[in-house]
Structure 1
Amino acid sequence: MKEILRVPMFMMIIGGISLIIIMLLYQAIAQDKKIAINAEKIILGIFLFAISGATGAGVMPFMKLHPVALSNRETTALTITLQIIVYGVFLFILSPRLHSWLKDYLKALFTTMLSDPFLALFLLMILLSALWSDTPEVSLKKSLVILEVSAVAIYVAQRFSWKEIYPWWRTVNLFVLLWSLVKTNPSSAGCWSGILSHKNQFSFFMAQTAVLWFLFAFYSPKDRRLSIVFGLLASLAVQKGCSGASRILVIILLGLWVYLSVIKKLPVQWAVVSVILFLIISIGLGILVINNLEAIVVDGLNKDMTLTGRTEFWPQIVDKINLRPLLGYGVNSFWQPWRGLENPAHGIIIARVQFIPPHSHNGFLDLACDLGWGGLILFMFSFFNNIVKGVVYLTRTQLPEAGLPLFILTYILMTNLTETGLFGSTSIWFWYIVMSVRLSLDTTAKI
């Protein structure tokens, strides 16, 4: 096969066919609005599929389409070139659909920056972090990739309403689920990681997928049977992922929707307090079950007691952050094992088992490593700002769409207590930006 690909005539034929297909798609999108919208959702779905979860889809060709490939040290020039060509072709195909997008995009960006100035400052920190990084080239590349994901998320948020986003979101998740059922990638212990490379991240993603489909089953009687099947398949994947935290997460996320239906009619100020109370109780419940109820966690959930191990190196990480408390080490400039003794994370270890963590196993600590306590404070202010706006949106709109912003916030909070993925070129960060922009637009619009 490789020999055939090296034949110039064969490559010319493939190139010619590809060009014809591209031009036909361009023409169809230019002439038919419905085709244009569907093509746009498919292309954006490919992008979201590639960055799924905290690790991205670990299957070809999506590994090569993940934006992080543009910034990895080991990525070849050919991979970078091909990714630029592929996304360039996507933009060309969609160009008839994009002819008037810039004005709306800038309006959405401006509205978000005014409505959430903390996020605006946070994004500025990302852009400038190379200035104080010990490895400025690494930070600049990673920063640009994160901003690329953010830019796509802003586009999705200004282009589509929650009612349009919700089916698109669960459909992309469904493809991740189905592919993972085919390619389970079990560990020696039999725990699945699917196409997401790590069992914990896979389990969290499947928990999200299960709840999205169960909710759709509840609110859409016509599609209930099939939706329940998808929800049950995702639940099976959660079980096979061997993550006790993900099973707790399913309960918390389902409980959230019952809770939201109760507080929806409360005055906004009381609803905000109620949501914050729910989040606090959820955190407490998660920590209690995972860390203290060993009989339940080990025997009932098949969960090894890794949180105790985390608490051994978390203080070490905090000490490192305190060396650069305001701005941190720069984007992706803390966990750098390839630097040897110059690695800022050098020396962080669980001494009793000689385990050297590859990251903080906490998304908020990893964010602080990159952008300091200053960056973490900005993010938390943005987070609480979005809680308030999420409650305002909840009181104005009908479920289930009304609850999606608070669903995203709860998911982000719970999944980043013991794992990472909050900050980076991940779908977790993607959905945070989508939610921030969409809430800014929805809560500032006149009723």
Structure 2
Amino acid sequence: MKTRTLHSLALKLEPWLIGSLLLYFLAVNTYPLIVTIMKPGSYAILGILIAWRWKRFAYVASKDIPLLLFAGMSVASVFWTASPAFTSIEFKAALRGTMLGIYLATRYDMKQQMQLWRWVLGIGAVLSMVLPLVLSDYGRNRDDLWIGIYNFKNGAAANQTLTALLFLNTALNGKRYRWLAWMLFSLAIVLLWLTEGKTAYLVFAISLCLFPLYKFAKQKDKLRVVLMLIMFVLVGSGLVIFVSNMEFIVVDTLGREMTFSGRIPIWKLMLDQLYERPWLGYGCVGFWTSDYGLYVINNSWAGGENVGIGEGSIRFNAHNGYMDMLLQYGFVGLSLYMFNIVSVLMRLVNLLNSPAIIESFWMLQSLISLLLLNFTDNLGTLGSSSLWTFYVSIAFSTAVEQMRLRRSRLAAELTTT
């Protein structure tokens, strides 16, 4: 009787624990005490949950080997990193983000994951509106922009973009509480507007153009649909790069004239350093925490009083997730990641003809948004962020769902013969 009661209690607590982890790792600005508790606590919670369902977890983890290999590079990079002290600590966070994504795919189907993210992002949106109104010194960045409960402008804009897409899909396809979905969609749009994240505005607009994909998804030529998606992403990427360079960080922080001379020189310096380690890169967080990264910082506009690798300093990044990925894991890592992205896109297109069409389209739309947002910041790349966890859960969930559908079709064919 006690065992049954404990099992029932664990089942009730589990979604709250998972939801809390997902919300926290969206880079929430919270009290130092909570940060101190969550860092070790998150490993303990995740370890217990995985041990509880380790057989199913191992099964799901085996369904996307390329992604496992890529994530494993963060661990293996301790052997070649340019910054052993930082890599030996931070690869654990990247591993945790990956394992949390696999656990989501293990524990919840695509429909349940969509419901879980409604709670996480919905609560995040409400708190982002309410808390800055209640707490006068909370929810705005140094430029007095509304970022809500999140630490950074780009992260806040990205989170509100995904929130808006989630509740728009819910409002258009849901059968219950559609009024609530429309309210939360409207709230997310207001919060997105308040962040003044112009790149996120563009990404949201581009994502809306995907809705006609329902029509093309019914075509038998899936390769054609995937190629159309790739072209869509490439065109969208070009637009995002153009817009992001028009308002890049130099304009915001240093007040220089609007030119393309800010990021391009720093990217050139980064590529010069990449030639030193082209295949495997500098390791997990190994570039900007090493002398190689400091050379780029000190020889560009990136240098400043608070920029560096010491305690209390701001760690610089390339303001391009793919460039940072290339520096950390080289061409081998970037190739694995790109191969996996194409594989996941193909699986999502195939699933658009399945009973999970609503969830598949939402995941496809969100994934493309993440891919575009990555051109302006490290959003959804290998790390501790819940956006990376979201990508991992999409990859493994689609692999499991596709295999399940194949088995169902095979069983149906056997029964009819």
Shorter-chain TM-score bucket reads 0.7 to 0.9
* Residues 25 and 384 in structure 2, CA contact (< 8 A), matched pair in contact too: yes
Query: Which residue, out of 318, 324, 348, partners 2:297?
Result: 348
Shift of 1:374: 1.6
Q: Which amino acid aligns with 2:60?
A: A
Q: Which amino acid aligns with 2:232?
A: F
Structure 1 pair 182–307 and aligned structure 2 pair: CA distance change class (3 A): farther
Q: Can you list the C-alpha shifts for 1:232-280, whole angstroms capped at 9, x where unaligned?
A: 1111111110111111122122222x13212220121222122212212
Give distance in 2, aligned partners of 1:234 and 1:225.
Answer: 14
Question: SS where residue 318 of structure 2 aligns?
Answer: coil
The corresponding residue for 1:44 is: 18
CA contact (8 A) 1:393 1:443 kept: yes
Alpha carbons of structure 1 residues 231 and 90: separation in structure 2 relative to 1, 3 Å? same
**Structure 2 spans left out of the alignment, 5+ residues:** 133-138, 252-256, 308-314, 409-417
Cα–Cα, structure 1 residues 354 and 345, in superposed 2: closer, same or farther, change >3 Å?
closer
> Cα offset for 1:308?
5.3
The residue correspondences of 1:427-438 to structure 2 (distance < 5 A) are: 427-438=386-397
Pick from 320, 325, 328: which aligns with 2:281? Answer: 328
Is the partner of 1:407 in helix, strand or coil? helix
Distance 1:349 1:311, change over 3 A: farther
Structure 2 match to 1:442? 401
Q: What is the DSSP-based 3-state SS (H/G/I as helix, E as strand, rest coil) of the residue aligned with 1:335?
A: coil
Offset at 1:197?
A: 1.2
Does the 8 Å contact 1:50/1:62 carry over to 2?
Answer: no
Specify the code of the residue in structure 1 equivalent to 2:268.
Answer: P
Structure 1 residue 310, shift from structure 2 partner: 2.0
Question: Which of these residues, 304, 315, 336, is aligned with residue 378 of structure 1?
Answer: 336
Instruction: Report the alpha carbon displacement of residue 214 of structure 1 after superposing the two structures with TM.
Output: 1.5
Q: Would the aligned equivalents of 1:126 and 1:143 in 2 still touch at CA under 8 Å?
A: yes
Q: Which residue of 2 aligns with 1:75?
A: none
TM-score normalised by length of structure 2: 0.83
Amino acid in structure 2 at the alignment position of 1:181: M
**In 2, are the aligned partners of 1:290 and 1:305 still within 8 Å (CA)?**
no
How far did 1:441 drift?
A: 0.7
What residue in structure 1 maps to residue 254 of structure 2? none
CA–CA separation in structure 1 for the residues paired with 2:242 and 2:100: 38
The residue correspondences of 1:384-399 to structure 2 (distance < 5 A) are 384-399=342-357
**Secondary structure at 2:149 match in 1:** coil
| Alignment match, 1:59 | 30
* 1:312–1:350 Cα contact (<8 Å) kept: no
Deviation at 1:397?
Answer: 3.2
In the alignment, does 2:103 pair up with 1:149? no
Does the 8 A contact of 1:57 with 1:63 survive in 2?
A: no
Change (3 A) 1:305 1:180: farther
The 2-side partners of 1:190 and 1:393 are apart by 43
Aligned partners of 2:259, 2:219: CA distance in 1, in Å? Answer: 40
Q: Which residue of structure 1 lines up, in the alignment, with residue 327 of structure 2?
A: 369
Q: How many residues align?
A: 379
| Contact 2:153–2:197 (8 Å) recurs in 1 | yes
Deviation at 1:158, TM superposition (A): 1.3
**Is 1:107 the counterpart of 2:59 in the alignment?**
yes
Amino acid in structure 2 at the alignment position of 1:223: Y
Letter in 2 for 1:119: L
Q: What is the aligned-residue RMSD (CA, Å)?
A: 2.7
1:214 aligns with 2:162: no
C-alpha contact 1:47 1:65 (8 A) present in aligned 2: no
Aligned mates of 2:127, 2:5 — CA distance in 1: 29
Q: Report the Cα offset of residue 165 of structure 1.
A: 0.4
- Offset, 1:334: 0.9
- TM-fit CA distance, 1:408: 3.4
Aligned-pair identity in percent equals: 24
Amino acid at match of 1:134: A
Contact 2:322 2:374 in 1 (8 A): yes
Q: Tell me how far apart the structure 2 counterparts of residues 431 and 228 of structure 1 sit (CA, whole Å).
A: 23
- Residue number in structure 2 paired with 1:174: 122
> 1:72-111 alignment to 2 at 5 Å?
83-84=40-41, 88=44, 99=52, 101-111=53-63
SS in 1 for 2:73: helix
CA contact (8 A) 1:408 1:431 kept: no
**Contact 1:153-1:431 at 8 Å conserved across structures:** yes
Q: Please give the per-residue CA displacement for 1:17-57, whole angstroms capped at 9, x wherever unaligned.
A: xxxxxxx9x97442x3xx543311100011111101xxx11
